[in-house]
Amino acid sequence: MTEIMPRIIKTIKFFLLTLTIIVFSITTSEAEVQTDDQVPAEKIEQFVDIYKRIKEQYVDDIDDAELFNYAIKGMVSGLDPHSSFLSSSDFDELKVGTTGKFGGLGIEITTEDGFVKVISPIDDTPASRAGIKSGDMIIKVGETSLKDMNINDAVKLMRGKPGTEIQITVFRKKTQKTIIFDITRQIIISKGIKSNIFENNIGYIKLASFQSNSTNDLKGEIYKLKKSSDNKLTGLILDLRNNPGGVLGSAVGVSDLFLKEGKIVYTKGRTTNSQLEYFATPQDILDGLPLLIMVNEGSASASEIVAGALQDNKRATIVGEKSYGKASVQTIQELNDGSALKLTTARYYTPLGKDIHTEGISPDILLKSNDDKDEENKVSLPEPYDKDKQLFDAIAIIKGMHVSSR
């Protein structure tokens, strides 16, 4: 080992110096970022020193490739909770997740304070049925602590063969309680979108996430509701509760369905292709009918783009609870060896320039949460909506809007 270490160290030094030059060149020429930052020589020396000590003194022999992977993961994950380095196997896992069909619990997660945090449970999945809520901190899976665990490793722990049992321990900040859930994994299939018509020809659409086809799907559901009501639709409730977001372009498209003019959203980043503005086209699929957007603390990212755009343009009334507050845009860049870099490349702002990152969208009308699910708290709505007090209240609000607009 001691004989070959000097050659390894020299190779690493040459590699890091070359990499610094290449990255700096690409950053300034292709991404058009103006910066004088370069990796200081003393930091390269420090990295090499630590690498050498690990190779010589760590209790177990460790593979060079594995050690470099750890270094890269640490560098990227330290940026923010949403950036990460994906090994080829991690990237494959991510692609499985985006197909909308896998064995798991049905939750969208991030990291916070060294633990895994639930952004939102997906409707009609084991997690939502068990009672896991947005904001829950997952502290253990079985007997394995998630403290400081890489988010991709946490995902691997929670996924598994459909039908198998898993125990999840969460800490709920609102109640300051630790809760244990025994959950059975199942195939998770995002249902995407569903709709209904309630009394007074009030249309209702639940959008579970923003996928590439969400704008066309939503448009189709609205036309279906219009047909079902003999073109007598009196208003629409668009339910974005527990919608964790998705594709930026779909959020723009959905907002544009209801706006005749105005800015929808704009993004700011360090590269020229992250400086973007999106504007509405002259259309409103509802022709000015009352529109309510329902949000809660599980509404994030693309959901907040839609709510912010329609609120700032005074096209919709936002009801429910304050949203999650994720106003960053990630891009996934596949690398030559099959791994990938998931990197925050921009932040988005509402039409009026509000930065809602960590702040969320505040509703125009606050609705009490649906935490109490006792049978006696049923409301006058058909199943499966008969325990949704927030929806019941939203319908009452839009009825009043229709009366006042006549």
Q: Can 312 be counted among the known catalytic residues?
A: yes
**CA nearest to 236, candidates 317, 165, 326, 320:** 317
Contact 225/260 with Cβ under 8 angstroms?
no
Annotated catalytic residue 89:
no
Give the torsion sign (CA, 217, 129, 99, 342).
positive
Distances (CA, A) of 194 to 203, 204, 237: 11, 8, 12
Q: Residues 312, 342, 388, 389: which is the catalytic one?
A: 312
Q: Which amino acid is at 289?
A: L
Please say if 301 is a catalytic residue.
yes
DSSP states of 169-213 as a string? EEEETTTTEEEEEEEE-EEEE---EEEEEEGGGEEEEEE--B-TT
Which CA distances in Å does 187 have to 146, 209, 403? 23, 17, 44
Q: Which of 117, 133, 326, 389 is catalytic?
A: 326
Q: Which residue blocks in 125-179 are alpha helix, DSSP H?
A: 126-130, 151-158
DSSP 79: T
126 prior amide bond cis, ω within 30: no
Instruction: Name the active-site residue from 120, 195, 214, 301.
Output: 301
How big is the chain by its Cα radius of gyration, in Å? 24
Instruction: Give residue 402's Cα distance to chain centre.
Output: 33
Active site residue ranges: 301, 312, 326
